[in-house]
């Protein structure tokens, strides 16, 4: 089957827009920079939104494409500068629920020397970018933090990735003579499973706690959210074993 | 994901040596004999045995799909027209723990195959490795095999607990294997049910039981399903009944 061209796609969307009118949905057009119809946003008429809320919801799907001059053409697919962490993370958590593959979040903060300009230095972003996969998403956050969202990854791989970032930064950011790091990085890491029912805000807050823990321990460390569901609550307890073995105990006593 | 009509059933046990592969092979053969198109995937990616129990000669395995992107349709081995096998490798430890990327590759590669079959059975490895968990999560239905001994019960329970905790799985078929008597099978199921309902709030489905039978070991040595080697044996009749039960629930 041949792939439909953009005119066919637009006809299909307009047809769909007409048909949706029979149902209790409102449609909002998603258009490109040349006003071409790219898609439709369907919203149940049962959902009551205050003035301005729809625009707020749609703001999450607007993605600024950085100009080549601004970035030097260095930003590859999947990297977003200045994106909203919670919005991008919420999208990845939804992806995790659909694919059943966990996603990870790494938060990185540096302790720059006194007098250094605020924000995450470009050199550090470049080093982090080189240490992650092309499919991972980099975001500059507030307070000079850098976030890396790693879709479809196991806890082991995500931890290895965080450790790779830590060791690259420790190796590359040295002050020459005394071999002391010019910048120390603190890293927090967490994993979200498909079965986790947490919001992006909660997930980000948990990882931020680990980042803070790493920072308080003196930097140049990776601290990981201990996943109680994966590691602790799945342990078979003494009570469970006792009940499982009850049939064999009867044999022993008889 | 897995949106086709095939019933995708993962067969696991936690503990090794409880008869997963033997029951998988025989259940696949029983469903195929009832006219259903069956795909049996050897999900023990590092220490495969399905080909051994079926006496198959295998030159290419799922490793080629995972490492080279080879279409799994090219790997299918026909046992008889209704039963095809996707073989795996033996002696390849790295296959036992697939990375998330490899899991994604495997899942995407298998999807187009599913519509060609009525049943897709996955015989997993023992243990709680990433590949085992991934196949269990990928499948829509989960059969957990338990034999009447404390280690089997503990490991089967641990597997179910992990699948519930990490993947939110809540529906399990229990298959009791190697029970000496009907009463022993009843007690084994009752114990598992009691612990699962009390601690995990899971109500398991009793799929059936396969009794201890010397015909099973004889068929292994012949590299044939016991269902075909000795159709009138007790284990063979039990597996045929389980297959009928699965068809009744479709």
Domain ranges of chain A: 6-59, 79-232
pLDDT in tens, B126-167: 998 888 998 998 999 999 999 999 999 999 999 999 888 777
- Cα gap A74→B135, rounded to integer Å: 38
- Cα gap B145→B149, rounded to integer Å: 12
Check whether A39 has a pLDDT greater than 90.
no
Check whether A70 has a pLDDT greater than 50.
no
pLDDT in tens, B43-58: 999 899 999 999 999 9
What pLDDT, on a 0 to 100 scale, did the predictor assign at position A11?
Answer: 77
Task: Select, from the ranges A157-161, A163-167, B84-88, the one with the highest average predicted confidence (pLDDT).
Answer: B84-88
Q: Which residues in A lie closer than 8 A to residue B198 (C-beta atoms)?
A: 243
**Strand residue runs (E) in B30-140:** 38-43, 77-80, 83-86, 119-124
Q: Note the ipTM here.
A: 0.83
Partnered with residue A221 across adjacent β-strands are: A186
Check whether B24 has a pLDDT greater than 90.
yes
Partnered with residue A30 across adjacent β-strands are: A39
Q: What are the structure tokens assigned to A226, written together? A: 């201990």
Q: Give the single-character DSSP code of A4.
A: P
Q: Which residues in B lie closer than 8 A to residue A100 (C-beta atoms)?
A: 1, 137-138, 167
On whether any CB of chain A is under 8 Å from the CB of B192, the answer is: yes
Banded pLDDT at A18 (limits 50, 70, 90): confident
Phi, psi of A144 (to 5 degrees): 70, 20
On whether any CB of chain B is under 8 Å from the CB of A152, the answer is: yes
CATH ID of B7-248, from 3.90.120.10, 3.40.50.880, 3.40.50.300, 3.40.50.1010: 3.40.50.300
Query: A64-78, A198-212, B231-245: lowest mean pLDDT where?
Result: A64-78
Identify the CATH homologous superfamily for domain A79-232. Reverse transcriptase/Diguanylate cyclase domain (3.30.70.270)
Q: Which residue of A has its CA nearest to B100?
A: A153
Check whether A84 has a pLDDT greater than 90.
no
pLDDT in tens, B192-236: 999 999 988 899 999 999 999 999 999 999 999 999 999 999 999
On whether any CB of chain B is under 8 Å from the CB of A19, the answer is: no
What pLDDT, on a 0 to 100 scale, did the predictor assign at position B49?
Answer: 92
| CA end-to-end distance (rounded Å), chain A | 71
Q: Give the single-character DSSP code of A181.
A: B
- Cα gap B42→B123, rounded to integer Å: 5
Partnered with residue A190 across adjacent β-strands are: A105
Domain ranges of chain B: 7-248
For residue B61, give the nearest of B85, B33, B34, B97 by alpha carbon: B85
Provide the b/e sequence for B55-72 (b: ≥16 CB within 10 Å). Answer: eeebebbbbbbbeeebeb
- Cα gap A148→B238, rounded to integer Å: 53
Of A193, A195, A243, the CB nearest to B194: A243
Q: At what angle do helices B20-33 and B214-222 cross, to 10 degrees?
A: 80
CA distance readout (Å), B192 to A239, B189, B197, B216: 13, 5, 8, 25
Half-sphere CA count of A97, side-chain side, radius 13 A: 11
CB contact under 8 A, A236 and B168: no
Of A100 and B241, the one with more pLDDT:
B241
Residue A26's Cβ-count burial label (10 Å; 0-12, 13-18, 19+) is middle
Q: At what angle do helices B182-195 and A246-253 cross, to 10 degrees?
A: 130
The sheet with strand B141-146 has its strands ordered as B77-80, B83-86, B38-43, B119-124, B7-12, B141-146, B173-179, B205-211
């Amino acid at each position: 089957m041949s792939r439909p061209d953009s005119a066919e796609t637009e006809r299909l969307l307009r047809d769909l827009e007409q048909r949706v009118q029979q149902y209790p949905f409102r449609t909002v057009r998603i258009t490109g920079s040349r006003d071409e119809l790219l898609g439709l946003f369907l919203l149940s008429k049962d959902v009551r939104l205050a003035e301005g809320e729809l625009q707020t919801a749609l703001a999450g799907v607007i993605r600024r494409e950085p100009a080549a001059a601004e970035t030097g053409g260095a930003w590859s697919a999947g990297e977003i500068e200045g994106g909203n962490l919670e919005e991008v993370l919420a999208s990845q958590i939804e992806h995790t629920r659909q694919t059943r593959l966990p996603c990870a979040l790494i938060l990185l903060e540096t302790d720059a020397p006194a007098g250094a300009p605020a924000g995450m230095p470009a050199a550090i972003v470049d080093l982090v970018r080189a240490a992650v996969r092309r499919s991972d998403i980099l975001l500059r956050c507030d307070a000079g933090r850098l976030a890396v969202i790693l879709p479809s990854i196991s806890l082991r791989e995500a931890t290895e990735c965080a450790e790779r970032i830590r060791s690259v930064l420790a190796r590359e950011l040295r002050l020459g003579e005394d071999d002391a790091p010019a910048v120390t990085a603190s890293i927090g890491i967490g994993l979200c499973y498909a079965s986790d029912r947490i919001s992006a805000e909660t997930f980000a807050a948990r990882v931020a706690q680990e980042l803070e823990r790493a920072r308080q321990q003196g930097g140049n460390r990776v601290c990981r959210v201990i996943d109680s569901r994966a590691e602790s609550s799945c342990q078979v307890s003494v009570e469970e074993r006792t009940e499982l073995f009850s049939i064999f105990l009867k044999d022993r006593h008889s | 994901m897995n949106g086709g009509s095939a019933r995708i059933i993962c067969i696991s046990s936690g503990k090794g040596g409880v008869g997963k592969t033997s029951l998988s092979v025989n259940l696949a053969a029983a469903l195929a004999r009832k006219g259903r198109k069956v795909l049996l995937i050897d999900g023990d990616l590092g220490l495969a045995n399905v080909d051994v129990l079926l006496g198959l000669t295998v030159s290419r395995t799922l490793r080629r799909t995972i490492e080279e992107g080879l279409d799994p349709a090219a790997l299918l081995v026909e046992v008889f027209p209704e039963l095809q096998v996707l073989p795996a490798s033996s002696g390849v430890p790295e296959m036992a723990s697939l990375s998330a990327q490899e899991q994604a590759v495997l899942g995407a590669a298998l999807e187009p195959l599913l519509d060609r079959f009525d049943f897709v059975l996955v015989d997993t490895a023992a243990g709680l490795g990433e590949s085992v968990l991934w196949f269990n999560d990928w499948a829509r239905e989960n059969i957990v095999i338990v034999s009447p001994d404390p280690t089997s019960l503990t490991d089967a329970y641990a597997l179910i607990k992990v699948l519930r905790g990490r993947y939110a799985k809540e529906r399990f078929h229990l298959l009791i294997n190697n029970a000496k008597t009907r009463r022993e099978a009843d007690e084994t199921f009752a114990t598992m049910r009691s612990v699962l309902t009390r601690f995990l709030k899971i109500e398991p489905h009793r799929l059936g039981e396969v009794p201890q039978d010397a015909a099973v070991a004889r068929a292994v040595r012949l590299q044939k399903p016991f269902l075909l080697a000795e159709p009138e044996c007790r284990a063979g009749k039990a597996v045929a009944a389980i297959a009928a039960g699965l068809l009744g629930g479709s």
